[in-house]
Amino acid sequence: MTKHVCTLKVDLAERSYPIYIGSNLLADSTIYRPHIHGQQILIVTNTTVAPLYLAAVKSALDGYQVETVILPDGEQYKTLSVWQTIIDSLLENRFDRRCTVIGLGGGVIGDMAGFAAACYQRGVYFIQIPTTLLAQVDSSVGGKTGVNHPLGKNMIGAFYQPQCVIADIDTLGTLEDRQLSAGLAEVIKYGLIGDPDFFQWLENNMEGLMGRDQSLLSYAIERSCNDKAAVVAADEREAGNRALLNLGHTFGHAIETGVGYGEWLHGEAVGTGICMAADLSRRLGWLNAECQQRIEQLIKRAGLPMHPPAALNSDRLLELMSVDKKVLASRIRLVLMNQLGFSVVTDDFDPEALKGTLNEYGRAAS
């Protein structure tokens, strides 16, 4: 069988690595072998993904000592105590520091497996196999790993780069509709932070993407990863412009924390967060009403929610935004749009406009 494999290189000096994008990759042992150094492999996956893809991955790893940790599925399990079960398994199996941890699943699995690889014996090898659209376009580039804390998302973690990323688009065939939409939120984000042509391409192809056309999905993943890789290569540790990737995320994290992890998908919260960022940008006079509408339309066509749940009022949203990582000593820093396809990171905006957006989107405080 012939197959199309696109290989992107994420350029981070001695921490550079390839992303393989294509179909029928999971069971292909030739893709894995150059990136595995020792004899011991731990596959970290979850109860949803294991029955679908674990056997295929294992078949590619014939000849190695392969152990498995199967975690419960959902953002509510992205905790330090669940993460510890990965570390326990590595130690119980007496894995040495040449071992490889493979994260097989969505963003939660990638974040936890990567953080375990970062910390076990102060760092072992890591391979990421993202099986959701969101993980393929987001977690596969940038090396962010970690777990949540009851007081904030991703508050405990590390920057840690994998040996390679294997994005098999066949896995998108089994994805729930909700998960597909969540991934598209991040895809739309890339168009909005610096790639207006891609935004327009998405406007022209959203129905095809929602219909899971493989060649359209493949193109969207490649372009998203390319866009993200360019941002990350210029600013690996988020000292500056990497923060652009957080468009919609400060609003989104507040929603996720407010409703309780696992209720909303991360991508769903980002979708609503993008609408809120567009609204605030329009209130500040940086974006015209027509552009705001085009953004809202695309979010809607991607099947994403456009408003926070009614239970979150504006005061609560503001409070939750204030503990986000992007907040510097009590000034809220946001990613806002200054024209369609271009965004900026700023804390220099009228707080009254933010209140306007929060009142519009959060149920009025009683």
Point out the annotated binding site for NAD(+).
73-78, 107-111, 131-132, 144, 153, 171-174
Minimum distance, C-beta of residue 65 to a second copy, in the bound complex (Å)? 9
The answer to whether 87 contacts a second copy (rule: CB under 8 A) is: yes
Binding-residue total with a second copy (CB under 8 A):
38
Nearer to a second copy, 54 or 118 (CB): 118
Q: Does 249 bind a second copy (CB under 8 A)?
A: no
Rounded Cα–Cα distance for residues 196 and 189 (Å): 10
Among 1, 2, 62, 122, binds a second copy (CB under 8 A): 122
Relative to beta strand 125-130, strand 100-105 is parallel
Residues 6+ apart with CB under 8 A from 201: 191, 223
Three-state secondary structure along 207-259? HHHHCCCHHHHHHHHHHHHHHHHHHHHHCCCCCCHHHHHHCCHHHHHHHHHHH
Closest distance between a second copy and the C-beta of residue 61, in Å? 16
Rounded distance, CA 215 to CA 231, Å?
25
* Shortest Å, Cβ 152 to a second copy: 6
Contacts of 303 (CB under 8 A, 6+ apart): 177, 178, 180, 181, 184, 210
Closest C-alpha to 166, from 329, 1, 18: 18
Contact 167, 103 (CB under 8 A): no
When the beta carbons of 158 and 210 are compared against a second copy, the nearer one is 158
Q: Which residues are catalytic?
A: 122, 144, 186, 228, 238, 242, 246, 249, 253, 266
Closest contact distance (angstroms) between CB of 11 and a second copy is 17
Give, as ranges, the residues between 146 and 185 that touch a second copy (CB under 8 A). Answer: 146, 149, 151-152, 154-159
Asked whether 256 and 153 are in contact (CB, 8 A), the reply is: yes
Pair of tokens at residue 12: 């981070």
Instruction: Kindly state the smallest distance separating residue 199's Cβ from a second copy, in Å.
Output: 29
If the CB atoms of residues 96 and 176 are measured against a second copy, the closer one turns out to be: 96
3-state secondary structure of 90: helix
Nearer to a second copy by C-beta: 39 or 214? Answer: 39
Looking at the DSSP bridge assignments, the partners of residue 42 are 67, 101
C-alpha span between 289 and 212 (Å, rounded): 31
Q: Is 142 in the site for a second copy (CB under 8 A)?
A: no
Residue numbers in the known binding site are 73-78, 107-111, 131-132, 144, 153, 171-174, 186, 249, 266
Binding mask 320-349 vs a second copy (x if CB under 8 A, - otherwise)? --xx-x-xxxx-------------------
Binding residue (CB under 8 A) for a second copy from 1, 2, 62, 94: 94
Minimum distance from residue 218 beta carbon to a second copy (Å)? 30
Of positions 47, 98, 240, 297, contacts a second copy by CB under 8 A: 98
Q: How far apart are CA 231 and CA 255, in angstroms?
A: 26
Residue (52 or 87) nearer to a second copy, CB: 87
Q: Which is nearer to a second copy, 40 or 131 (CB)?
A: 40
Binding window for a second copy (CB under 8 A); candidates: 34-42, 189-197, 250-258, 293-301 = 34-42
Total residues found in the chain within this entry = 366
| Minimum gap (Å) between residue 236 Cβ and a second copy | 11
Q: Could you tell me if residue 24 is left (phi over 0), alpha (psi between -120 and 50 degrees) or otherwise beta?
A: left
- Show the CA angle centred on residue 191, arms to residues 187 and 197, nearest 5°: 125
* 82 lies in the binding site for a second copy (CB under 8 A): no
- Contacts to a second copy by CB under 8 A: 38-40, 80, 84, 87-88, 91-92, 94, 96-98, 118-123, 144, 146, 149, 151-152, 154-159, 237, 322-323, 325, 327-330
